[in-house]
Structure 1
Amino acid sequence: MNAKTVYRFFLNISSKMLGVTLTKKLDAKIRFHRTLNLQEPTTLADKLCYMELYIDDSVKTRCSDKYAVRQYVADKGLSDILVPLCCEPCSDVDEIDFDALPNQFAMKAAHGCAMNLICADKSALDIRKARKLADKWLHEDYPRACIEPHYKNIPHRIIFEAFLEDAESMIDYKFHCFHGMPDFVLVCGNRVSGVQKRIYTLDWQPVDAMIGEEKGSYEFKKPAGLQRMVEISKILSADFDFVRVDLYDIHGKIYFGELTFSPASGVLPNFSEEFIAEKGKLLDIAGIKQSGRTLI
C-alpha cells in the first residue's frame, strides 16, 4: 500500500468520523499548506471550498460526469468540439472489449479526476494491467477520498475517447470563469519534458501568480483560436457562479476537455495568496447564499 493510498484511507476515515468540513480544512493544511476560512470565506480558495461543501447543485454534478457532460455541451450547440467516443461507456470491467477498440484511444473514468490512460499503440498495451486499472477506478471512492462531494452521485463508468494526435505534447487552456465570464486562463503544456504552467489574462498578458514547483517563466505562444475559446468558455460557464472550462487547440481545431468546479481540490495551492485574495472578489458568495439553493 503506497503513501497516496494510505492518505486517502485516512481522509475516508476522517470524513466519516469528523465530517467533511473539518476534514477538508485538515487536508488543505496537511497536503497543500493552506488555511481555509469557511466561516467567513473571502479568498477564491475559501469560496470554492465553501461552495463545494455547502451548495447542492445537481447540474454541477451532471457536468462533472465526463460522460453526461457531453450532452450538456451538445445542448449548448457545441457538439463539434467534443472528442469522439470509441464505444459506449462501461460500468463493469467485464464489459470492456479491448479487441473491438481502435489501435489508439484514451481510457478515462467518468466519475473522478487523474484517472486516465492514453494508448498510442494497442499492440504495446498490457491489457491485463489496463483491465486491473479500470477495475480499480470503478471501485474508487473519489468524492470522500478527495473531499469533493459533488462527485458522489456520478455513476461509476469507464469511457473510451478517440486518440488525439500529439496527445502527449498538446497544450491545455483552462479558463477560470466567474458568473458566466472568463477572467483568466491557466495554460499547461510540455508534459513530455515536465509540465509547464503559466497564467495569462484574456488579452494574453502573463500574470506572475504561480508558486511552488510549478512556478516558472515559460512563455506560451498566443493560440490562434484564443477568441473562439473565450466565446466557448462564456457559453459553457453561463449557468454557473464559477467553473473552469478546459479546452485544447490542436492544429487549429478546438476540443472540449472538461468542466471543473473545484480545481486542485478547490484549494488552489499553486496560486499565490495575493492572487486568490484578488480573484475571490470576483465570486459573489453572498449572492450564492441568498439564491435559495439547498444546503447539503
Structure 2
Amino acid sequence: MASRIRYLSKYVRAKFISDCRYVRERYRRYHGVYPEFNQPNKFTEKIAKRMISHEHRYLSPFVDKLMAREYVRSVVNESILVPLIAVYHKAEDINFDVLPEKFVLKCAHDSRSTIVCNKQEINTRAVVRWLSLRQKQDYYYINRERQYKGVFPTVLCEEYIDVYVDSQRECIPEMLRFHCFNGQCSYVEADFTDDDNNQTSNVYDRKWNLQPFTMGLLNNSNKDIKVPEVFLECLNVADIVAGNFDYCRVDLFCAIGKVYFSEITFTPECGRLKFMPREWDEVFGQLWKYG
C-alpha cells in the first residue's frame, strides 16, 4: 500500500511540476547547488541534463531488459546472456510449479524489482502481488528518467547464477559496473556484499588499479581483492556494448570463469552520485563530451 501511495504521489506531482524543475530541485537537494545545463562540466550535471533531453527516444529500447538482451545478442553473442526461462505479460500468469528450485524474477521496464526466488522459502502470492504492482507503474514517474517512459512492463524469469560458489563474499565482486565514454571503459565500480549484508564498492581503472575516490559507497580496500580471471573479457564486452553511445554504464557479473550481461544504464543514480573527493565529478565530466 505504501509503495502504491508513493507512486501515485509522484504521478500526480508530474502533472504539475515539469521535468526540468523537478530534476533541478532534486539536484540542488543532493549537491547543494543547482546544475549548470548550458555548459555542464560535472558528470552529475551531464546526467541531470540527459534526463531532461530528447535522447530518450533513442535510449528507450536499451533500458527495456528484454530488448537489451536482443541488442547484446546482436553485438556480442548469446553466450553472455543469463539463460531465459520464461517471459510473462502478466505476473498472474507465472506457473511456479514448472519453475526450477531457484530462479530470478524481474520486470523489464524498471529498476529494483528483482526477486531471487527459492521455492522452499518464497510466498508466491506476495511475489505475484509485488510484480503485479510494479507492472502497473510507469517507471518514468519514479525519478523522471524519460528513457523509461512507456516501456512495456514484461516480467522475465531467468536462471539463478551463483557468483560466489563457496568463495568469500567480501572478496568477490557481485557486480562490475563499467563506466564507458565514447565506446571505451575508463573506470569500473566493483560492488561487494559481505555476510552481514554490508555493501561496499571499489573503483578501478582498466588495469585493475584501485583508484583514490569513491562514488557513494565506502570502499573495500582493506580486503585482498584479486583481479577477476575474466576481467579482460569483461572489458572487451563492455567496450563493444557501449560502442554506440557517448556515455553509458555497462553492468556485468562473473561466475565460474564466465561473463554475464546484467543491464545498460544511461543515467546512473539520476545524477545523485556522491564523488569523494568531489573533484572526481569533474574528472568524469571531462571524459564525457556532452552538452
TM-score, normalisation: structure 1: 0.87
Question: Which residue of structure 1 lines up, in the alignment, with residue 145 of structure 2?
Answer: 148
Aligned partner of 2:188 in structure 1 is: 185
Match for residue 54 of structure 1? Answer: 53
In 1, the alpha carbon distance for the partners of 2:34 and 2:226 equals 35
Q: CA deviation at 1:109?
A: 0.9
Whether the 8 Å contact between 1:196 and 1:218 is mirrored in structure 2 is no
Deviation of 1:151 (Å): 0.4
- Superposition CA RMSD, Å: 2.3
Shift of 1:100: 1.8
Question: Which amino acid in structure 2 is aligned with residue 206 of structure 1?
Answer: L
Among 100, 113, 116, the residue aligned to 1:115: 113
Match of 2:213 in 1: 209
- Are the aligned partners of 1:197 and 1:218 in contact in 2 as well (CA < 8 Å)? no
Quickly say closer, same or farther: Cα 1:157–1:83, change in 2 above 3 A: same
Could you report, residue by residue, the CA deviation over 1:203-240 in whole angstroms, capped at 9, with x for unpaired residues?
11111221655355344321111111111111000000
Is the CA contact (8 Å cut-off) linking 2:201 and 2:218 kept in structure 1? yes
Distance 1:282 1:12 in 2: 35
Letter in 2 for 1:214: L
Q: Using the alignment, how far apart are the partners of 1:24 and 1:135 within structure 2?
A: 28
Provide the rounded CA distance (Å) in 1 between the counterparts of 2:33 and 2:128: 37
CA distance in 2, matches of 1:24, 1:272: 23
AA aligned opposite 1:136 = L
- 2:270 maps to 265
**2:281 aligned with 1:276, yes or no?**
yes
Q: Which amino acid aligns with 1:171?
A: E
1:157 to 135, 154, 157: 154
Distance of 1:78 and 1:11 partners within structure 2:
39
Mapped contact 1:62–1:69 kept (Cα < 8 A): yes
Q: Deviations over 1:79-102 (max 9, x none)?
A: 110000111x21212222112211
Residue 81 of structure 1 is matched in structure 2 by 80
Aligned residues: 283
- Asked whether the 8 Å contact 2:163–2:174 carries over to 1, the reply is no
Report how far residue 131 of structure 1 moved: 0.7
Pairing 1:105–2:109 present: no
Q: Which amino acid aligns with 1:197?
A: S
- Rounded Cα–Cα distance in structure 1 between residues aligned with 2:285 and 2:24: 18
Q: Is the 8 A contact 1:214 1:270 kept in 2?
A: no
Whole-Å separation in 1 of the counterparts to 2:232 and 2:93: 41
Unmatched tracts of structure 1, length 5 or more: 287-296
Q: Does 1:67 align with 2:52?
A: no
Alignment of 1:28-47 (within 5 A): 28-30=27-29, 35-47=34-46
Once residues 135 and 166 of structure 1 are traced to their aligned partners in structure 2, the CA distance between those partners, rounded to angstroms, is: 28
**1:72 partner SS:** helix
Identify if the C-alpha distance between structure 1 residues 212 and 72 changes in structure 2 by more than 3 Å, giving closer, same or farther.
closer
Q: Could you tell me how far apart the structure 1 residues matched to 2:41 and 2:137 are?
A: 32
Q: How many angstroms apart in 1 are the aligned matches of 2:69 and 2:255?
A: 19
Single out whichever of 240-249 and 92-101 deviates more from structure 2: 92-101
The offset of 1:40, in angstroms, is: 2.6
Aligned 8 A contact 1:211 1:272 in 2: no
Kept after mapping to 1: 8 A contact 2:56/2:146: no
Displacement of 1:141 after TM fit? 2.8
Deviation at 1:39, TM superposition (A): 3.2
Identity of aligned residues (%): 23
CA drift of 1:166 comes to 4.1
**Aligned residue in 2 for 1:130:** 127
Change (3 A) 1:114 1:31: farther
Q: 1:211 to 1:65 in 2, by over 3 A?
A: closer
Equivalent residues of 2:138, 2:150 under 8 A apart = no
Moved more, 225-234 or 27-36: 27-36
Which sections of structure 2, spanning at least 5 residues, go unmatched? Answer: none
